[in-house]
Each structure stands twice: as C-alpha cells, then as structure tokens.
Amino acid sequence: MFETILTSALHALPVFAAQFAVTLLILVAGVLVYQMLTPHNEAQLIRENNAAAGLAFGAVILSLALPLAMCLARSVSIPDIIVWGVVALVIQLGTFFVARLLFRDLVQRIERGEVASAAALGATHLAVAAINAAAIAG
C-alpha cells in the first residue's frame, strides 16, 4: 500500500514542481512589477525600518499570493495557471491605484511611517485578494 502511494507521488512530483515553480515565478514577477509601479521605494523604506512600508508591502505580497494560490489549486495546466495568474495580478496591482484615490496622500503617509495608512492599504489589498481568489475558484 505505502509503495503504491510513494510511486504515485513520485510520478506526480514533476507536475507539482513545474506548477509550483510557474506560480512562484508569477508571484515574483508581480512583486517586481508592483515595486516598479509604485512611486515610493519599498525596499529602501524597509531598510530604513519604516514599519508602515513593511506592513503595507507584506500585505501586498500576501494579496498577490492568495489569488495565485487559488489559481494553482484550481488549475488544469500550466497555461491555465499563467492566464488566471495574470488576470489575478492585474486586479491586485490595480487595487493600489484605486486605494490611492480613496486614501488621501497614501504614499506620503506611508513614507512618513504612518502605520494606520499602511494598515488601511494592506486591508484593502487583502480584501480584494480574498474576493479575487473566490472569483477564480468559481
């Protein structure tokens, strides 16, 4: 019995590894695109121990990962992961621009280390990510 399970798992391992790697690459690409699109330098602010930047950026990474995780869970192939992964990232990246319209001086507040603004941005990202993931799940 155990040998059958092990054999099955070993045969599935290449597919698992490929799908996991593709999803992880999409996540990394999404994080890099987010950093390029935002007017502030998250990495620099975090190096300066800006807690607001760390909180907001951490929530962004989670908000990108949640719908991608659902893409991975519901996928039937790597192209399926890529298509829905890109859709998920576009929605999540757009969330930042909508949040900037809703929260006045958001970027400047985070740069000044205002944690309340970072928490509001993070919650907004995570809320949209939860809905995004559910929509992907169907």
Predicted confidence (pLDDT) per residue in 92-112, tens digit: 999 999 998 988 899 999 999
Range 84-87, long-range pairs (CB < 8 A, 24+ positions):
84/136, 85/22, 85/23, 85/26, 86/26, 87/136
Q: Is the pTM of this model over 0.95?
A: no
Q: Is residue 32 part of a domain?
A: yes
Chain-centre distance for alpha carbon 56: 12
At residue 8 the predicted structure's pLDDT band, cuts being 50, 70 and 90, is confident
Q: Please name the helix (run of DSSP H) or strand (run of DSSP E) that holds residue 9, with its range, or none.
A: helix 2-37
Q: Is residue 94 part of a domain?
A: yes
Residue with tokens 């502030």: 40
pLDDT value at residue 41: 93
Q: Is residue 6 part of a domain?
A: no
Q: Is residue 10 part of a domain?
A: no
Predicted confidence (pLDDT) per residue in 11-52, tens digit: 889 999 999 999 999 999 999 999 999 999 999 999 999 999
Quote the domain boundaries for residue 33: 18-137
Q: Using CA atoms, how far apart are residues 80 and 121, in angstroms rounded to an integer? A: 29
Number of domains comprising the chain:
1
Q: Which tokens in the block code for residue 73? A: 């869970």
Q: Is the pLDDT of residue 7 over 90?
A: no
Q: Is residue 11 part of a domain?
A: no
CB contact at 8 A, 59 and 123: yes
Q: Is residue 30 part of a domain?
A: yes
pLDDT value at residue 24: 97
Q: Is the pLDDT of residue 1 over 80?
A: no
Q: Which tokens in the block code for residue 124? A: 């907004």
Q: Is residue 36 part of a domain?
A: yes
Up-side HSE of residue 92: CA atoms within 13 Å toward CB?
37
Predicted confidence (pLDDT) per residue in 57-95, tens digit: 999 999 999 999 999 999 889 999 999 999 999 999 999
- Burial (CB count within 10 angstroms: exposed 0-12, middle 13-18, buried 19+), residue 78: middle
Q: Is residue 99 part of a domain?
A: yes
Q: Using CA atoms, how far apart are residues 81 and 95, in angstroms rounded to an integer? A: 21
